[in-house]
Amino acid sequence: MGGVFIKPVSKLRGEIKVPGDKSISHRAALFGGMAYGETHVSNFLLGQDCLSTLQCLKQLGVSWERKGTEVWLRGEGMETWQEPINVLDAGNSGTTMRLMLGALAGSPFTVTMSGDESLRSRPMRRVTDPLKQMGAQIMGRGDGNFAPLTMMGGQLQGQSFRTAVPSAQIKSAIILAGLRARGETSVEEPALSRDHTERMLRGFGVDVQSDRTLVRVHGGSRLNGQAVSVPGDISSAAFFLVLGSLVGQGEIVLPDVGVNPTRTGILDVLKAMGADIELLDSSEICGEPRATLRVRPAKLKGIEISGDMIPRLIDEIPILAVAASLAEGETLIRDAAELRVKETDRIKTVVEGLNALGAKVEERPDGMHIQGQTSLYGGQASSFGDHRLAMAWAISGMLSEQGVSVEDMAAADVSYPEFLTVIKKVAG
């Protein structure tokens, strides 16, 4: 197995401005395309997933231009969206596909959405079933469970839903369909998932009512173009929080990182493990809290990660597993079966990858059991095209004894195109 070889390091120091939040960038582009008037998005993430959302909007007739990380969208309302000539290609982006399906559910035309091989294998029924209940006609492989998916627009009727799992993508798709439905649409979750959609829709002028795990919207709501400042992505910052906690010496500062309470599970868990992380310069811009994070080396200990904490750090579990493998004592991750339907089966791939690098990890149906130790030997690991795994194995290499060769490191481009450049810089 070839790949990019990541050397071990013993000392780090520097300031890292992580790229814009992926979830917020997707929504800023989509809502700007749905709105009336101009939307200006700053610090937009230039990862492949968010660019897929912009390209889908262009195929629907939405006019936009981009200069660096700034995007201007000139929306004229969803009534002016056009039937696309070709299939909408969501690439590797589940967020693009699921949110776009919700936004398009009430359109008066037919549209087909697909993506790469990985996305075509990811289940969509949890989104397509509620949209069908509201009146959308959706056809696809596995009775509408797998892309390519073809949707024929129609009149939507508001409904009340209770989801089986907390998922911001499911909730957001239903809410977006509800904006074009007759009457009220509500979604109740078993635990609160990311609330970026609710926060941002309010900024665009939509009356979104929420009470803990219940969200309500009314049909006929109009979005008005806004200026949206995207904070740094805490999921990208997570890799440096773990690296800064476990490296021998140094200090890493991460300015302007989003610290939305539905996303800060990574901070809570690392602090419970004993990490030395400080929040500085806290503020709130465009409805999203943000802060500067400073992390210094600390001795970590194993804990249990389960229950309502899981939705608040689902994307950070691969790098948390790396941290747990180098912590003192045992770590048990439970209630995370959702990981099996991500870009890869992240339970299986994380367990196999860490064991190949010298860790002691046991796979469980809904998570994993990790026996912490003082070191990772190193070796070879594949990302299997999963951006979170690519970056987790790179951090493992920096914290290992012998280094790690990462197969398909380019997968990191999905959410962090400059990742390799940044780790070389802070490592000197």
Per-residue pLDDT in tens (0 to 9) along the chain, 428 residues: 458 999 999 999 899 999 999 999 999 999 999 999 999 999 999 999 999 999 999 999 999 999 999 999 999 999 999 999 999 999 999 999 999 999 999 999 999 999 999 999 999 999 999 999 999 999 999 989 999 999 997 899 999 999 999 999 999 999 999 999 999 999 999 999 999 999 999 999 999 999 989 999 999 999 999 999 999 999 999 999 999 999 999 999 999 999 999 999 999 999 999 999 999 999 999 999 999 999 999 999 999 999 989 999 999 999 999 999 999 999 999 999 988 878 789 999 999 999 999 999 999 999 999 999 889 999 999 999 999 999 999 999 999 999 999 999 999 998 899 999 999 988 87
H or E segment to which residue 234 belongs? helix 234-246
CA distance 246 to 418: 22
| DSSP 8-state class, residue 411 | G
At CA 64, angle to CA 61 and CA 70, rounded to 5? 155
**pLDDT at residue 374, as a whole number:** 83
Residues annotated catalytic, as ranges: 315
**pLDDT at residue 1, as a whole number:** 42
> Is 236 within 8 Å of 291 (Cβ atoms)?
no
**pLDDT at residue 2, as a whole number:** 59
Kindly state the tokens that stand for 425: 């810089």
Bridge partner list, 188:
162, 214
Kindly state the tokens that stand for 65: 């231009």
CA distance 41 to 339: 30
> 178: which residues sit within 8 A by CB, 6+ positions away?
134, 156, 158, 184, 185, 217, 218, 219
> 331: which residues sit within 8 A by CB, 6+ positions away?
302, 303, 304, 305, 321, 324, 369, 370, 372
**Could you tell me which of 174, 179, 233, 177 has the C-alpha nearest to residue 204?**
179
117 phi-psi bin (left φ>0, alpha ψ -120 to 50, beta other) = alpha
Residue 86, classified by CB atoms within 10 Å of its CB into exposed (0-12), middle (13-18) or buried (19+), is: exposed
